[in-house]
Structure 1
């Protein structure tokens, strides 16, 4: 960034999410404060906590609002300059399609330069309700006048409780642990997201599947055993109980979570790793590499 150029303002629509917490440090680390990050938070409390988490840097600010309220979302773009939107929806919300469209409409009206949507691997697998919702958001986005990029990450490696598996000797899986699953490291997702944001036009109108490795949980457990030198086995757990935990008592979220787990039990979820390798410029993180990282090796 030159002395006269302005920083690129990036609005991250779910500032407290796992993805945001991996992407924000990358943006903050760029020289000359070349990015200004605006983190959209649902409350002042969560926003203030986020600011303190990063040491209150000059180029990170919070915007408080409700994703589901179109007036509050539109107000953000009226009051704030935004170059790039990185849209993440809260997991398993019944309002996912609604809040996605809220941000697309507001960004379109404000003339935002680039809209990056964090969707999901294979949104066309519509037996899963939240995949169907993301597919509808993708369709609305591609029919807008916005320059867009859609990122489609699979199951995050960070969802695997590696240390807990070593401590307990079991890796609990709420579906068939022999079914192959696609995994991706959130660090890789964030690097790919930064590439898309920083290179801009090169990625307009692209949809990228983000997969780092395909493994059944039985193989993941064996790798944990090998890396940790502790016996670990994959053990099937109760899907309904896990869906209750994931949904935090919300009935609509429970329906989405249980359908996902039943789907995984029947078909699993796998994809191709080539696109992520191309975006990163190197092989994405695989199971063994991630497990070593999780165990501090």
Structure 2
């Protein structure tokens, strides 16, 4: 997020209103939508690796919430099929309460009988990967600024949520780490 993003939004709205003449105001269109905001997606390839490695762009000791793709897919299908019931809603989706990647790696490693090595990628490399994944080679200074701030945010605070939102949306408990790995390993 740009440090003046909120203020810039106010400027854009004020400019649109200032340009308005009677009967032709069409800057804002009412669109019925919903926002599914998933937390960190988890990787299930460790079961197939002889020496599993988890590469992270941020501190593995900072708690993060995780969502498993089956839960995300089911929530997405529900929101799409039930359309009107979810209009104008925002759902921060998480299968887990905040847990460190170290704890996830330890629990999964115990289930697999393997040690999962955690490697932190350097900050500059992490930012470069993020910005090029999003924009390719055609990014600008603002895009780079956002990527830098996002990596720093994760480094300091993680991305946290509660599985209770997903539980309510799905009508069942979200998948646990153990259930996720059991399905991934089979």
TM-score, normalised by the number of residues in structure 2: 0.71
Contact 1:246 1:257 in 2 (8 A): yes
Q: Which runs of 4+ in 1 moved over 4 A?
A: none
TM-superposed CA distance for 1:266, in Å, is 1.0
2:120 is aligned with 1:230: no
Structure 1 residues 122-165: Cα deviation after superposition (integer angstroms, max 9, x where no partner): xxxx4699xx79xx7xxx9xx6423222211111124x75357x
CA–CA distance in structure 1, aligned partners of residues 3 and 45 of structure 2: 24
CA–CA distance in structure 1, aligned partners of residues 124 and 36 of structure 2: 29
CA–CA distance in structure 2, aligned partners of residues 257 and 186 of structure 1: 24
Q: 1:250 to 1:223 in 2, by over 3 A?
A: farther
1:260 corresponds in structure 2 to 150
Matches within 5 A, 1:174-193: 174-193=57-76
CA–CA distance in structure 2, aligned partners of residues 242 and 233 of structure 1: 18
Aligned residue pairs total 160
SS of 1:207's equivalent in the other structure is strand
What CA RMSD, in Å, does the superposition of the two structures yield over aligned residues? 2.9
Unaligned segments of structure 2, at least 5 residues: 14-27
Structure 1 residues 148-201: Cα deviation after superposition (integer angstroms, max 9, x where no partner): 22211111124x75357x433432222111000111122212211211121222
CA–CA distance in structure 2, aligned partners of residues 292 and 157 of structure 1: 14
Q: Which has the higher strand share?
A: 1
Unaligned segments of structure 1, at least 5 residues: 1-125
1:282 corresponds in structure 2 to 172
TM-score, normalised by the number of residues in structure 1: 0.47
Looking at both structures, which has the greater relative contact order when contacts are Cα pairs under 8 Å and sequence separation is at least 6? Answer: 2
2:41 corresponds in structure 1 to 156
